[in-house]
Structures are given as C-alpha cells and as structure tokens.
Structure 1
C-alpha cells in the first residue's frame, strides 16, 4: 500500500512539471503566435467547368477533324497524324474532348488497274497491302488488344497538354507504320478515316453508334482535297430506305440502319474493307459472294430474288431476307452520283446480280452464250441499245405511267321506273402521249387490271367502300377518244350524293415505256395517270362534290413522295397499279371491314420438304380491317402472313422484324416532315374517328389504338389502349360515332411521351 501511494504521488508531480513547461509564464497562459510563413507559389488555375468534356450524349455530339497537312501515310517519311476531337457540353457548345484511349486508323488509296479485268481504278487498303489487317490501332501505350484478345503493335497516341482535344499519333516500333505505303503514288487520291472506341455518355453507358470521322479525301503531294470518281452511289441514296442518322451537319449525311457491323454510316466508310484485297470468286461454294463492294452490294440487294431462284449458296444465304423494295432493274434508285455504273462495264459488278452467268463457258451470257476471258471487250457491246440503262429498262415504267392518262369527263344519273334499274353513265377520256386513243381501240389485251371503282363520300370526306360498284373498261371500244360505261344502280342509294371514281387499273408496256400487249410486254402493272374524280349527283355538272379526305393534303400526314424514294413507284408491289393514296381508298378505307390477311405469321426455324421456310401462326394476334393506315403499318412491321408468297418483311422465330430497311421508330421515313398526328380534340389529324371491322360496315373500333397496335400488338398493350378509352379489336361497337381515345393526353406532339420523342427515328 505504501509503495502504491508513492507511485501515484510521483505521477502527479510529473504531470504538474509537464504542464508548467508548456507555459510562458507562471499564469499557465498560451504563448504569443509566431510570425506568418512565406506564401506558397499559386497553383495553375483549373479550366472553367464545361470547357472540355470526356463524355457525350450521342454519336453526333462527337466530332473528329483531320487536315491533309497533318497526315503522312505515303512514301519514305515516318508516319504521323494529328487530329482534333470535340464533344458537346451541357450548353450544346462544341468543346475539346479529352482522354481518348483508343482509336483505329483506316487508310485507302485509289490505284490504276493495270489488268484487263475490273474497274479502271481500284481501292487499295494500305494496311491490307502491308499484310497487317484492315486498320491500325492508336493508344497511349503503343499497344492494343486486337479481336480475339491478342496484343498487337499500335501507334502511340498523345494528347497535347497545352491544347486539350488535340492528339498526335506516331509509330514507335521497328520500321514504318503499317498504314504507310512506301511505294504509293502521292499524286493519287487517299482516303483517311478514324474510328474511336470506348466513349460513353455521362452515366457510363457506351455510345451505341460507331464514332467515325468524316472520311477525308485528299492528294498527299499537294494537300488538296479530292473527289472520288468511284463513288457512284451516295450515302443519300442509301438513306432513302435505311433512314438518316440525325444530328449531323447537312453536308455529312449518315446512314442510320445497316445491320452489318452496326453501322459504318457512310458509303465511303465501306470500301476501307470491301475492296479487291478481300475479293473472292462469286461462285466460291463456301462464301457464295464476292465481298468487293460493287459485287457484294448487288448480291445483297438481290438476295430475296436470288433465294427464290435457288441460286444463293454458302455465306450468301444470309441475304435471303433482303427484298429490294424498288425494282431491281431501276439502277438509278441507288446509282445517283455520276454515270460510272453505265460507262465502265465489267464482269465483277454484273455477276453480283447475274450470278448464274458463267463467263468462262459463256453460259447465260446473252442468247449467243458468249465466253469472256476478261473485260476488254465489254464496252464494245454494252453501249447504245445494249448499255446498262437500256437493257435494264431504266426509267421505262415512269415513261409508261406518264404517257397514258385517263380522266372522267362526265357522269349522268338516270332514274327509271324501277329503282333497281336506275343507271349511272360514266364517260372516260383516254389519251396516249397526249393524243386521244383511236376509235375502236379495246384495252382487253393491254391491261393487268381494268377496274374503275365507284363509291360515295359523305360530307366529312369519309369514303364508303362497302357500297362500291365496279366498272370494267375491257371490251368497251373507244369512240372519239372516249370510253363510255353504263352500270345499274342495283338498289344502292346514291341519290344526291357525292360519288368517287377511283382506278384499279394498270397496263403493260415495252422496254421503251410504250403501251404494249401484255403477252409481249417487258413491264407489267403500269399504273396510268388518273386522279380520282368526284361528282355530286344532285347537280348535272357534278359541282359541289366532296372529295375524300385522302385528296386533302391537310388531312394526310404520310408523304407519297417519300414512299417513292424507297419504292421507286408505288406500283412496284404489283398491287393494281395505284400510285396515289386517294386511288387506294376504293379498297383500303375505314368503312369496309374485313381482311384478306387476318392472321399474323412468323417464319419458324423449320423448313418443308423443298427446303423452304415454314410460316406459323402467332397465336392471339389477328386483324380484321383493311384501312390503309393500319394495313401499311402492319405490312412494314412484319405483322403479315404468307398467303401471297414469302413476305419481304416478316417476323422471324424470335419475333424480330426482318426485311424492313429503315429504323422502326423513324416515322419521317414515310410521314411528312413535322407532321402533326393529333388534332385539337385528341383524335387523328385526318378526321378519321372510327374503323369498320366487318364487311357490312356495322361494327367499329377507334383508329388511334388500332394504328398503334400495328407495332404494339401484345395483350398488355391492348389492355393499355382499352383502359385509356379505346374501342379495341375484339370488342367492337355498333356505331361509328365513337368517343375519342385519350391517347393524345400523353402521346401528342410536345408531351413528355409524345410520338415525336419516343419515336425520334435516327436521332440516337
């Protein structure tokens, strides 16, 4: 106990001494503060917020810029490249993009063809010519992981610390970079493009579209910009069917929807790989097609036809689902950029479509079975009457369509003692190349369809198709350039009503677009020029007639011209020869229900005994109307059947759409730019408020939901429509006076979930 007390006392004394040692006086207060230290050197001010970015919201927000003076890819000098990268900040301004970790460089050049086969000028990929690959990576380390994971040499990518967003690339390995051709011609045209990897949006999600520079075409010897004479197809031509990737400058049009490699955006990009270095024999049993761009594109777009003819083989069988929406012979649908396609004829391009021709034996090469060892003789024959545009009858359909005109000059209505014997007499004026057809001329041998349809129109422009009468022109001889048709009323009530006369009429033509007998014709289903005629039977001169709403531009949101950019002509479907929406209403209207395509079918993975795909019914999804809007939507989304042969657009076994070339959400592919789908009352702009679903026209559903169901066909979608006031398929009403659905509340243009936002098309 004593020892313990001594220890505690010692500890207390030690603490007291320690505390007193920290004071400057006996009072125990803190000492005075010391002198301030010398201020440190100020740090470098940081860049203002938003002055650079390292993420972008879309591919179009990212831009790479190259200049010829900053590129060395030919000759003995060491490889080098400099470029700038920008992205849009939160204000929408283009600012330097920092932190690129990986890019790929593609370099091609045009070389003269010294052989007697192929195009006069050829694309050569510099890296492929050096047996390296199709492109060269650039990374900060000078190494990169290639496909398959193997490490390869890369150019060294350095960002300029003083100029963020400016990058240089050099080759730090043995020899020169593989994209340099030492013996290349600096006076030829070179094309350089850069692909960027691993760029994300602000949430860390990778940008889905490829980030590509605009291909730079230039002459290295002079630094001048150049224009390739080989680009006979523009990206704008492809966009006609494949949609435009929105957000880019008007002079930088890019393709939104090409499935292969998703998605090299411009025709100029494709030749970096699809050039003679990868070329193969079109008849190669394993590959089945020539991957050189000229031949491959022909084979792809003819794929559906070639499959039907049983001549696709090997890897080319994947093209069987491609059904070119225009006519294959209309070369200028794609070839819109010069005359190279018809002035440089060579076998490689031709057999891309004409795959059964054997130039070694001559089999299939004209009626004379002419063998061709090389291409030196092609242009001796394929000029004049045998030039590509002549033998393919390019433009002949348009000439034939424009050459024949039919119009209604008068309608008379006679009441007889018996109401069923009342007569309507219609007089048609017919001209060919501006001259009246000869007396006694009979269309019988010249037509594919010869029907004129007569229905009536109510005061709001609704066409009543369940009361349609048909008039046949075949067998009616011409007198004074006119055809006169008399039909009985047969109890139909046309008294005092506006009637509409619409054509379902098409003829045949020869290779020059001249009217021809169908037995000898080169072109069938030529739709004649004829505007629907409207006649008010209450007035002798027909005045005061109400046209159908499809003849009123303000009521139509779709654009016939846009349909024709992809289809070339609306008669390409060989559907009676109609060229205008208001010609289609005789059958495709909202008052005549029923459908020839009730079921929805999909292409299963099974085939029949002949190896053809078996289509199976998609249970629980049917349609029962022929309204033009829903029919057009259904067909283009693949909700169709195979009762008229293999449908070019269809559902596969995973219920994915196959064959539609545009983006499914690109409404502007068919609709007018800036079209408003909803009227002020929430209904459709057209004024259509009901669709008949039975042939008698006594049962109706609402149109907005039925239009949407053409894509959104699930049971849950149908329930959503119904819960928002729609009268839906399977539960029709007996009146056409239906309440307007509430769809516009959420989905009208400008709303949070407006169609203009959720269906933004190519704006990725």
Structure 2
C-alpha cells in the first residue's frame, strides 16, 4: 500500500501540431514568419460550394479598400469557359447585396493544376501546377540581398554548386545547404479581370492551352481573395476537352452534379478533418483554408531551395506532424523550411498529440471502415473521402519517406534499427511500392500492408479491458470506504492477481470535496493527492463471486473528513507491454478510468462539476491518456476521464509551482502565448493547434462564465502561499505582470498570500467580465 506522491504530468499526448501561418500570431495553427503574400486557395471535391444567387438590380457598390473585418463576403465559381484562353466566372458580393467595383491582382490570386499519373511504376496520381517559379538560394547581386533581407556577405556568378562559397548563400545557416536553383509552384494574377456589373466577375488566364482537345486530365483552379474580411477559398475541377466542346460553362466541371460520378479528383484529406483539431486551418497568414487549394501549389516538384526540403503536401504535412520525432531531428538536424523573404520555419518541436500510427485520424476511405470493423478495432475518425484509402492501396516513396527518413538512406527503421529484408535505398520515386506492400484487404491482411503495420496495438489492447466499480460502503465522515470492483477482459471478469492473466497495475482511489472541485481538505502540496491503494496487492477476492474483489481503504490512516457533501471513488489502471520497465513505458495500454460519486455528510450526491468534454479532448488526442513516467511507475495511467485527473490535481496540490487541474491544463495548452512557459522542460514540445482564445475547443458550453462556481484558494506550490481562484485560472494563460496587476487592482485578486486571507477575499472580476458586461468572458473569447 502506498500514498500517491508523484505529479501527473500528462504531457506525452498533449503534444504539439502547429501548421504554420505567417501573420506573427502565437498559438493556434499560426506560427511566426510564414509567407504572408497572396498565393493559393482550396476546396474539397466533390462538395463544390454552390454559387451565391445573383443579387437584385438595386445592390450597392463598394471599393475593396473600404471593406472591413466586420463585413461578410460571399463568393462562388459559376462557370468555366475555354475559347482561346481559360476564363472563370465567379460571384463576389459584400453583405449580400453590395458589389465590389475594383477587383484586381492585389485582391485575388488564381492557381491552376492538373492531375497526372505518378512517374514510372509508382501508383497513384499527383497534382502539378501550370505556374512555376524558380528560387535561387544564392546571392547574385546586391539586389538579391535587398529584396530578400538576407545575410549575404558576398555575391557570385558561379553556377556550379560545388564551387559556390558559403558566404554567398542567402540564408547563413549550417542547415541551409542548398546552392542550386529549384522550382516552386505559384499562383497567377496577371490575367484579365472583367466586372460584369451584376455581382459577377470574369478572370481570363494569360495563356492559351496548346491543344484543348487532348487535355483529358482533371484540372483544378482555385481562387484566394485578399480583403480585410475573411473569404473562403473557392475551387472548381474540370476537364478542358469537355469544357471546350460543351461551351455551356457547366458541363465537364464540378459545377455539374454528375462530374464526380465519372471523374476522380484525388480526394484524400479534407479541411473538415483538419479542423477537428485545428479549429480553423489557416496557413500563410490565414488566406488559405482548404486542403484542395493547398495541393494545387504543394506539388511533388515544389521545393525549398535553401534547405533542399520538399514542400509537397504529403511530405510537408507528415513531417510537420512528426516534427520532433523525425530521425534527422533526433540526430540533430532540424526540419526547417525557409519561406517568404527567407523567413525561417523550424518544425523540429512540432508533433502529433496522439499515436502517430493513427493514420485514420487524418485520411480514410470506405475500405478503412471495413478493415476496422472486420478486425474489430476503433474506426478511423477522419472524414471518409473517395481516395482516403490511397495510403494503403497506393503507397509511394515520397509519402513514406516523409516519416521514414532513414529507410531509403541506410535501410533503417524509425528507431534506427537495421531493417531486415529488401534494400530500400535502391528504390526510387518511380518504384511501385505495392509490389511488396500489397493491399490484401480486410479479412486476411499481410504483415506489411500499410493499415496493418500502422495499427495502434497498445490502444487496441487497452480497449479489451474495463474496470468497474460494483459497490462502495462506509462513505460517511470519519469512515474508510470499502470498494467492491472487477476488471473484465473482453467482457469477462478476470483474476487480476494472476500475472499470467493480467500484467499491469490497478489502483483504487478516494477523493473528497467533490462539490468544491476536489479541494481534498486537510492535505496540501505533495500530499494533496487523492488517497489511493494498490488494488492488485491489497484487495481480496469476494467470496462466491466471479472475480469480484474487495478493497478496504482503511488500510491507510486517512478517513473522510467532516462536512463533505460527497466523495468520489475512482480507478486507474494499465496493462504493461513487453517492454515496460521502470525507465521504458511507451508500450503501456491505459484502461479507461471510471469515477463514481457517493453521498457523505449529506443525503444527496453532489458530483464534481464537469467543465470539459472528453469528446472534445479526443478530437485532437484520439483517446486521451496521460502516459508519463510518474503515472506508469508509481501508480497507474489515467485515461479517458477528466474528472479523474481533477481528483488528484485539486486546489491544494502543488510543488514548486501550481498543479491545480485548471492551472495545469490552461498552462500547458497556452505555452505559445505565456510569457513564462509553464513547466519549462515541456514547453518546446507543446503548441496548441487551434485558436487558444476559443474556450469552446475544450469546454462544455456555458462553463467558462464568471463568477466561478467555487471560492477555494489555489495552492501555488510554495509553502503557505495561495492565490484566489479566478486569478489563478485566468493567469494560467494571462501570466504577464501587467495583467496580474490589473487582476489585483481592479478585480481584488490575491497572489501568493496566506490561506486565510485568500479564502476571505471575494474577487470582483465578474463586474466587468461577467455575463452581459463590457468584457464578458464568453464574448472576449468568442470565435
């Protein structure tokens, strides 16, 4: 029997994935410094947005410069015509009835790409842009330095990379090794804009297709608008030969309801899936929000010439989500892209806040649904798309090498171990990977079939177990509860004391002050955790039962204090994997933690309030479990229930810094906006992928309002120092000295004061930040 004395750090799955933008915002899917000039837009076939109905003749007029962020802009492509040139017709209206009169190249950029087969024997297809630019990483003249704000100290006319001195590189970094001109896809705005005077515009591209009748590939054109107000990207798919022969602007395009019945447009991932974690995917300054737009520029032949890294969509996205675990990064070479004006974007600390093997979290097809159902494992959470199964049916070197960087270099696994079998360094981009990694389907998958080898076996194993609280007695003041429970495997109760049947940890805990957010009165600091016992070692088999066990919490000296409305009884548990040791714990299988509430001094039960939704947590974390050394080695891994976390991380828990659950969760997720990172050793690995101001990303509706439902002093982690609860909660994100001064002077907050003073203090924050007030919390954080 043991008292739990280890901090629940919860950060192996609170990882970080930050698709970068360029407006300098911190947090969310915006990272500082990404290119902020107008390029691509996006859309998700086959759901081409319907065009906005034509306005009545009495509509107003507005110049683009007069549009404000409060205006609403609606748009949609209405026609595609190919005569000598390609012309798009689209609606563009402000606030429903107002026409823009001066649309031009500064307000709109157009992409155009076609879908072509992958080269050689490689399976599948890729987009390739019609608009290509070159990027030279070398300074050729003073103008190069002036234009790109680089640190060149010399210039050269030398074309042989081996003869170019490092001082002529536009980016003076040991990791910017590129010295050759490389190509990049781009957008176009040099064509002709035509105002039709009825709320629609024409854009005619500045080139002619050579022989339209031979262009039978699917093409895509997208528009990115640049105004002071947000505008969704719009795209249209079409086949030039069919458009030219039909001449009606609709036939042969995705504006036709039947287009995708006979045409494939490589539908793999959607922004709806991305936004389940990112909230609003908005890269390059926020103007590019749809994935089908992204792929029109992020083609396989688009590269960063400074680093030599590909920015092909699949390569870039996989690497960003695997960032800090990439083999090259582990060996000390950062994954960096130098973008607009050679701005540096280092993704070496980004990551995926769940098991990276969960490929179905981002892309999946109907075949993946069948696979999971047949194998009786969790279904993919991604939105199902026409080609979402392509990662299994058509794997390519480009896609696989984005994570498996060493596989095609030295034939090693992600862990660096030599790979037995085929010599992968001999395979090129043109190799047909399905020659070995064949998709054998759902019934009898082979060992190296992509969806079989990427299975999350630890989670699958965890889901076979369940912990169940059967009954609890002795819940009154001064008593020690007696808990009857069982653990099932595939629905059948098991003997947890038989290590041949169950290898892992099961612990039962009791927490009190449930009605006041688990203050656990009478305990403080390390000792403020709930009371917890090793259930495998200390329980006894209930006589005559089918593997039910009885645990007397009286084995430890603490009893339930007087004056507790309700208590909570909870269970934590995990099954060990074959490699679980005191220092290795990546293969544990966390079992969902149950928690139940029981009346103590009162007749009725008052549960701890629920303020966050585990479903919302899992939109990023898939199956939230806090796998951390302290959890695994000392007690057990909490999983799937925020109230269990809060039962330990109550108001009185702390050691050297706050450990209260409110402060902990906000502090961890707000690392990118805090002035002082919370728990600094983890700060580089945590980047909230959504909008940190959007409290509804995590909270249940209506639970973020002031005043708070409790007035419990929050322990700071420093002996005998407490903070008022509202101030502690808000300062977990807003931690600057200036803001804390405001909380003290205006809100009456107390920081780092004695318990009695803090408890007797009534904060007045709700006077300004309460419902309907000038700075209503829900309005200030509204997104």
TM-score of the superposed pair, with normalisation by structure 1: 0.69
* Structure 2 counterpart of 1:349: 399
* d(CA) in 2 for partners of 1:478, 1:429: 11
Q: 1:294 offset after TM fit, Å?
A: 1.2
* d(CA) in 1 for partners of 2:558, 2:779: 50
State yes or no: 1:425 paired with 2:482.
yes
State yes or no: 1:71 paired with 2:133.
no
Q: CA RMSD in A?
A: 3.9
* Structure 2 counterpart of 1:268: 292
* Structure 2 counterpart of 1:99: 102
Structure having greater relative contact order (Cα 8 Å, sep ≥ 6): 2
Judge conservation of contact 1:359–1:373 (CA < 8 Å) in 2. no
* Structure 2 counterpart of 1:109: 114
State yes or no: 1:56 paired with 2:67.
yes
Judge conservation of contact 1:637–1:649 (CA < 8 Å) in 2. no
The DSSP-based 3-state class of the residue aligned with 1:705 is helix
* Structure 2 counterpart of 1:436: 493
Q: Greater CA radius of gyration, 1 or 2?
A: 1
Kindly provide the CA deviation profile for residues 728-752 of structure 1, in whole angstroms up to 9, marking residues without a partner as x: 2223441675454222222234433
Identify if the C-alpha distance between structure 1 residues 67 and 695 changes in structure 2 by more than 3 Å, giving closer, same or farther: closer
State yes or no: 1:484 paired with 2:524.
no
The DSSP-based 3-state class of the residue aligned with 2:648 is coil
| 1:453 aligned residue (509, 521, 524) | 509
Judge conservation of contact 1:362–1:370 (CA < 8 Å) in 2. no
* Structure 1 counterpart of 2:421: 368
* Structure 1 counterpart of 2:573: 505
Identify if the C-alpha distance between structure 1 residues 322 and 523 changes in structure 2 by more than 3 Å, giving closer, same or farther: closer
* d(CA) in 2 for partners of 1:582, 1:153: 54
Q: 1:472 offset after TM fit, Å?
A: 0.7
**How do 1:38-49 and structure 2 match up within 5 A?**
none
Q: 1:351 offset after TM fit, Å?
A: 0.8
* Structure 2 counterpart of 1:339: 389
| 1:278 aligned residue (299, 302, 316) | 302
* d(CA) in 1 for partners of 2:189, 2:563: 84
Identify if the C-alpha distance between structure 1 residues 53 and 630 changes in structure 2 by more than 3 Å, giving closer, same or farther: same
State yes or no: 1:88 paired with 2:94.
yes
* d(CA) in 2 for partners of 1:367, 1:423: 57
Identify if the C-alpha distance between structure 1 residues 423 and 755 changes in structure 2 by more than 3 Å, giving closer, same or farther: closer
Listed as ranges, the gaps of 5+ residues in structure 2 are 1-56, 136-146, 150-187, 243-250, 338-344, 364-381, 440-444, 632-636
Query: What number of residue pairs does the alignment pair up?
Result: 596
**How do 1:118-517 and structure 2 match up within 5 A?**
119-128=123-132, 154-160=190-196, 163-170=197-204, 176-177=207-208, 180=209, 182=211, 185-197=214-226, 199=227, 206-207=228-229, 211=231, 213-220=233-240, 221=242, 222-225=251-254, 226-227=259-260, 228-244=264-280, 255-256=281-282, 258=283, 260=284, 262-278=286-302, 287=307, 289-306=309-326, 309-310=330-331, 312-313=333-334, 315=336, 318-335=346-363, 336=382, 337=384, 338-358=388-408, 366-371=419-424, 372-374=426-428, 375-383=431-439, 384=445, 385-394=447-456, 396-413=457-474, 424-438=481-495, 440-442=497-499, 446-447=503-504, 450-457=506-513, 462-464=518-520, 466=523, 468-476=530-538, 479=541, 480-486=546-552, 487-490=554-557, 492-494=559-561, 498-508=566-576
Identify if the C-alpha distance between structure 1 residues 399 and 355 changes in structure 2 by more than 3 Å, giving closer, same or farther: same
* d(CA) in 2 for partners of 1:148, 1:85: 36
* d(CA) in 2 for partners of 1:462, 1:271: 49
Which deviates more, 304-313 or 97-106? 304-313
* d(CA) in 2 for partners of 1:697, 1:683: 27
Identify if the C-alpha distance between structure 1 residues 356 and 366 changes in structure 2 by more than 3 Å, giving closer, same or farther: same
Whichever structure has more strand as a proportion of its residues is 1
Kindly provide the CA deviation profile for residues 303-344 of structure 1, in whole angstroms up to 9, marking residues without a partner as x: 122266226456358111212212211111211233122111
Judge conservation of contact 1:705–1:726 (CA < 8 Å) in 2. no
Judge conservation of contact 1:508–1:523 (CA < 8 Å) in 2. no
The DSSP-based 3-state class of the residue aligned with 1:585 is helix
Q: 1:182 offset after TM fit, Å?
A: 3.9
Judge conservation of contact 2:113–2:296 (CA < 8 Å) in 1. yes
State yes or no: 1:664 paired with 2:706.
no
* Structure 2 counterpart of 1:594: 654
Kindly provide the CA deviation profile for residues 677-726 of structure 1, in whole angstroms up to 9, marking residues without a partner as x: 22xxx522xx2222331679976433222222122222221121112343
Q: 1:241 offset after TM fit, Å?
A: 2.1
Kindly provide the CA deviation profile for residues 276-305 of structure 1, in whole angstroms up to 9, marking residues without a partner as x: 23158xxx9x62532211122111111122
Judge conservation of contact 1:357–1:365 (CA < 8 Å) in 2. no
* Structure 2 counterpart of 1:549: 608
Q: 1:110 offset after TM fit, Å?
A: 0.9
Judge conservation of contact 2:722–2:752 (CA < 8 Å) in 1. no
Listed as ranges, the gaps of 5+ residues in structure 1 are 1-46, 134-146, 200-205, 245-254, 511-515, 551-555, 599-624, 651-658
Q: 1:78 offset after TM fit, Å?
A: 1.2
The DSSP-based 3-state class of the residue aligned with 2:81 is strand
Which deviates more, 563-572 or 305-314? 305-314
* d(CA) in 2 for partners of 1:434, 1:62: 54
State yes or no: 1:719 paired with 2:775.
no
Which deviates more, 456-465 or 271-280? 456-465
* d(CA) in 2 for partners of 1:631, 1:85: 48
* d(CA) in 2 for partners of 1:171, 1:267: 23
Kindly provide the CA deviation profile for residues 2-31 of structure 1, in whole angstroms up to 9, marking residues without a partner as x: xxxxxxxxxxxxxxxxxxxxxxxxxxxxxx
* d(CA) in 1 for partners of 2:124, 2:669: 40
Kindly provide the CA deviation profile for residues 329-388 of structure 1, in whole angstroms up to 9, marking residues without a partner as x: 111121123312211112110110111112686786732253353432534334423222
Q: 1:410 offset after TM fit, Å?
A: 3.2
Judge conservation of contact 2:92–2:200 (CA < 8 Å) in 1. no
* Structure 1 counterpart of 2:143: none
* Structure 2 counterpart of 1:636: 669
Q: 1:124 offset after TM fit, Å?
A: 1.6
The DSSP-based 3-state class of the residue aligned with 1:527 is strand
State yes or no: 1:524 paired with 2:580.
no
Which deviates more, 429-438 or 182-191? 182-191
Judge conservation of contact 2:323–2:347 (CA < 8 Å) in 1. yes
* d(CA) in 1 for partners of 2:736, 2:493: 55
